[in-house]
Amino acid sequence: MSCCTGAIRKVNNVACKRLLFPFRGLSHSFAIQSFFLTHLLRQYASPFFGPAKLSLDLWLPTLLITQRVPRVRRRSCAQHPRIAVNLNTTRKRQEAEMRKLTALAAALGLATSLNAHAQSSITLYGILDVAIGYIHNSGGQSSQWKMSTGNVSENEWGLKGTEDLGGGMSANFDIENGFDLGSGKINEGGRLFGRQAWVGLSAPTWGAVTLGRQYDPISDLVQPITGDFFSGIWATPGDVDNYDSSARFDNAVKWASPVWGGVTLEAMYSFGGVAGSTGSGQVYSGAASYARGPLSVAAGYLHINNGNPTLSTRGTSASDSLFNSAINSAYASANSVSITRVAAQYVIAPVTFGAAYSYSDYAPDGASTFARSEKYQNGSVFASWQVTPDFQTTVGYNYTKSTGDSSAKYHQVNLGVDYLLSKRTDLFAIAAYQHASGQNGLGAAQAVIGSYDVNSGASYQVLTVAGIRHRF
């Protein structure tokens, strides 16, 4: 019985003959080894060399066929010494060739592994967030029950990746879509990748430079330490200072530094793209943060040009609109919006305390429908208690005052709880109350909680949501 009989007994004889056809004439054991080695090289070497550079199905069998063994029965070897000598010599050559091929396979496998490590990696990620919500005073109506999506985090999916370019430099990208989980519709004005879409280079020595649709430096460095755990409900009424990133920025070039002794810097410029008017629709922003031990502080500035009405159209800008509710819609004709924001937080054991302040200036020009700048000042404080590793509760207070063209005051209190079912899935509940007084430029001030942008039609509003979030 030949030495390969046991190896091929479990497969159909015809199928085995077809598989080993390129190796006909070889010793049985060497044919079997060559067959598996061929498939090993096809799997590991083809991706490395590419199909145009290496055809293993033809190359390896051709190499091996040159080492065929004469078809001689074992019992005839003793009767034919010359054949026996030739057979032993051929087997030695086969063994030497097998050692060479094995070394080649190992080398190609290692090279392929290193090459794959150096090549790009792509990650699919996303968040699903949905809740049942109740609003008291919504659009002039006393009550409203609704399915509320994007409560703690906006619903999103995206692709991000990186490629090692050598010398510590990497190429990076991120494209991210936002959508309404309740209806399946795309958010951000119907943009396919409306949340962000950028590509750039990074290195440990000088940081990262990215180009595309992006968040501003205030959102990157200041927002994370303002108690933004529960997102929109904690935001400034109507998000007049872009606390909750209601505006993202097209055609942006952004630089982010490495962390230097706890300090991080960012700067961004967005092209307006209007011929004959470089400043029309442009946006520029900068921010800095410092973190050391339990203390974190950050500050930033954002300037948005709202479009030249002569060479373009008022409201045409690299920035998304901030005029999404009755809080500031009377000032949609502003020439520009300038926002300054500072924040700090401090961690004491399981409790985190924080405070933030912002100053927003909506400036008019001759094409505006209002004559005096409208200024919004916002102050907020929060405390977050990590009761257990799985359970967190946060309470906050938010005060906003507008002056200039009109004058209004907004008081808001918030409460949120979050419970982790796993590392990727959690349950949450949030409640908020806001009271408004004064004038908002259109008439009596209306309460509008956070960046939910639901006009109450009244001087106060209550909002509660309870739901589930899943990350992948």
pLDDT at 120: 82
Which pLDDT band, with edges at 50, 70 and 90, does 228 fall under?
confident
- Averaged confidence pLDDT in the chain: 84
pLDDT at 118: 52
For the chain, the first-to-last Cα distance in angstroms comes to 56
Q: 372 to each of 337, 363, 365, 377, how far by Cα in Å?
A: 13, 7, 9, 16
- Between 378 and 54, the higher pLDDT residue: 378
Closest CA to 467 of 433, 421, 413: 421
pLDDT at 98: 58
Whole-structure pTM value: 0.76
- Taking only the tens place, the pLDDT of each residue in 136-190 is 999 999 999 999 999 999 999 999 999 999 999 999 999 999 999 999 999 998 9
Q: 130 to each of 181, 183, 391, how far by Cα in Å?
A: 7, 11, 19
pLDDT at 257: 98
3-state DSSP assignment of residue 103: helix
Domain map (residue ranges) of the chain: 5-117, 126-471
- Between 159 and 81, the higher pLDDT residue: 159
Instruction: Tell me how crowded residue 120 is: count the other CB atoms within 10 A of its CB.
Output: 14
Query: How far apart, in whole angstroms, are the C-alpha atoms of residue 306 and residue 328?
Result: 14
According to CATH, what is the number of the domain 126-471?
A: 2.40.160.10
- Taking only the tens place, the pLDDT of each residue in 420-460 is 999 999 999 999 999 999 999 999 999 999 999 999 999 99
pLDDT at 227: 87
319 Cβ contact list (under 8 Å, min separation 6): 247, 248, 249, 250, 270, 281, 283, 304
pLDDT at 53: 38
pLDDT at 294: 97
